[in-house]
Structure 1
Amino acid sequence: MKFLFLGDVVGRAGRDAIADRLPGIIEQYGFDFVVVNGENASHGRGLTGPHFQAIKDAGADIVTLGDHAFDQRDTLSFIEREPTLIRPINMPAGTPGRGAMFVEGRNGHRVLVINALGRVFMPPIDDPFRAIEAAVAACPLGEQADAIIVDFHTEATSEIQGMGHFLDGRVSLVVGTHTHIPTADQRILRGGTALMADAGMCGDYDSVIGVEPEEPINRFLTGIMGGRFSPAEGAATLSGVAVETDPRSGLALKVVPVRVGGVLAQALPEF
């Protein structure tokens, strides 16, 4: 099967790019399954119901979240009834929603998607390694699942590398989100798991990680908050990674970066 993962959608620019470009990309390249991280889609922090639905309408099969999962209070009102919206699996017991979901793709493929938060340079959270391991053990790759996709939302590339090697041979893809900067390290590990340290963002790269530069620069210079961050609203780049898997094992055969539109050098998912 072929699936597409897109990194953090940031503000209106990211939402518009998803609505305008994602349906055509799915059709042109024949993706069987699409995952989009939507945790910055609403005003740069969190995800409202209408914005979640817009990402779904554009073609996302699963929408993942991150450390801003509940910054929009609206999320609490719909996450329990939306099985295709998942928040980090290692949030404390009793947190609304779910951290993993097993769903059927558009061509009948069975896919397990897991979302987790890292712990390096991040707020205190439960162990992501054991939480993901338990979810994978309950739905093994090549048996119940045709593919397993792990969105590991964290700051440190070392932690993402560690997770990739920890899960190598047991999942199809481990991909980082959160930093909004696409890395150039996509590869297939020895056991057959595709790994990319960060998928980048779906947003305006003529910015500071998706927000207008003035306020971040002010804070760098003065250490004082002068106002809120405002999402940049120029032409957005859709950034992520595409993977083709072995139909028998579910492990990766090919992995390529995806960058479409905006100011970054383009990378099309042609395989």
Structure 2
Amino acid sequence: MTVNILAVGDVNGSVGLELLSKKLRAVKKQKNIAFTVVNGENASVFGLTASQADAMFEAGADVVTLGNHTWDKREMLGYLEENRYILRPANFAPQNPGRGWGVFDTAFGDVCVINLIGRCHMDFAPDNPFFEADRILKQSAAKVTLVDMHAEATSEKQALGFYLDGRVSAVWGTHTHVQTSDAAVLPKGTGFITDLGMTGPVSSVIGIRPEQSISKFLGNPPQRYESAGGQAKLEGAVFEIDTETGRCLGAEPLRFME
């Protein structure tokens, strides 16, 4: 059988979370979605709270993934231990709380979801995400495997896609908040898109008030970023997966405007 998997781009600020809460179930129904992964690390602009994560699950997320702002809200340390449906990057140092991948039971069989973080142009030094993916795949027997690669460099995300081509069902990039136009099925059957985009304010610089971003590039004193507010959009991608083989049959970007 074939199923549609929805990956939702980084939820940014209260505007993004409100749109997700209002519209995700309708989008899932329209696209006949069987499983949904939402990247939620920017719900508070920097990080997310336990109540915001709960709201994402209530909205219809099956699994929530994170990224470089995982630790910005300290309350998440305990939450990550308690809730197996929220993932932080698997290639963080092993002593950190929570888990970076999981196998989840669904109506169409087991689904393995892996959350990784890139190292190129990032502010910390996690383990090699390519090697971490290899280690995880040796431990999972799930036919359907989905990978969220939270990374700055498009080259690193694309390289991981080709590295895992034929070994996982889909790889998508998050973090840069701008949807790319390269959704495709790679030569060996893995669905891929370099970046899902974001779920947040339309009139913004990657979710932030434009004047704040301009000020930074002008060299002015730093200020704490604020979500732009206003009209919102929901971006992501839909992957059609053959559950018997785990191969992707189709990949298309998704954008819903409020």
TM-score, length of structure 2 as denominator length: 0.96
Q: Is 1:254 equivalent to 2:250 in the alignment?
A: yes
**Match in the other structure for 2:113:** 113
Counterpart secondary structure, 1:233 = coil
Specify the code of the residue in structure 2 equivalent to 1:130: F
- Cα distance in 1 for residues equivalent to 2:119 and 2:81: 25
Counterpart secondary structure, 1:25 = helix
Counterpart secondary structure, 1:257 = strand
- Structure 2: where are the runs of 5+ without partners? none
> Which segments of structure 1 move beyond 2 Å, counting only runs of 4 or more?
none
Specify the code of the residue in structure 2 equivalent to 1:133: D
- Cα distance in 2 for residues equivalent to 1:155 and 1:171: 22
**Match in the other structure for 1:169:** 166
| Contact 2:78-2:97 within 8 A present in 1 as well | no
- Cα distance in 1 for residues equivalent to 2:239 and 2:208: 29
Report % sequence identity. Answer: 41
**Match in the other structure for 2:37:** 35
| Contact 1:49-1:78 within 8 A present in 2 as well | yes
**Match in the other structure for 1:229:** 225
**Match in the other structure for 2:57:** 56
- Cα distance in 2 for residues equivalent to 1:187 and 1:28: 21
**Match in the other structure for 1:267:** none
Residue by residue over 1:184-234, the C-alpha shift from the partner in whole angstroms, topping out at 9 and shown as x without a partner, is 001111100011000000001201100111221111112521x21001111
RMSD across aligned positions (CA): 1.0
**Match in the other structure for 2:150:** 153
The number of residues matched between the two structures is 255
**Match in the other structure for 2:48:** 47
| Contact 2:9-2:235 within 8 A present in 1 as well | yes
| Contact 2:108-2:243 within 8 A present in 1 as well | no
**Match in the other structure for 1:265:** none
Specify the code of the residue in structure 1 equivalent to 2:79: F
- Cα distance in 2 for residues equivalent to 1:222 and 1:253: 47
Specify the code of the residue in structure 2 equivalent to 1:250: G
| Contact 2:10-2:174 within 8 A present in 1 as well | yes
Q: Write the mapping of 1:51-200 to structure 2, written as runs, cut at 5 A.
A: 51-105=52-106, 107-123=107-123, 124-139=125-140, 144-200=141-197
Higher strand proportion: 2
Post-superposition shift, 1:146? 3.3
| Contact 1:173-1:252 within 8 A present in 2 as well | yes
Q: Is 1:16 equivalent to 2:18 in the alignment?
A: yes
Specify the code of the residue in structure 1 equivalent to 2:168: V
| Contact 2:232-2:257 within 8 A present in 1 as well | yes
**Match in the other structure for 1:268:** none
Residue by residue over 1:140-182, the C-alpha shift from the partner in whole angstroms, topping out at 9 and shown as x without a partner, is xxxx323111000000110011101110000011100000000
| Contact 1:117-1:152 within 8 A present in 2 as well | yes
- Cα distance in 2 for residues equivalent to 1:155 and 1:29: 29
**Match in the other structure for 2:241:** 245
TM-score, length of structure 1 as denominator length: 0.92
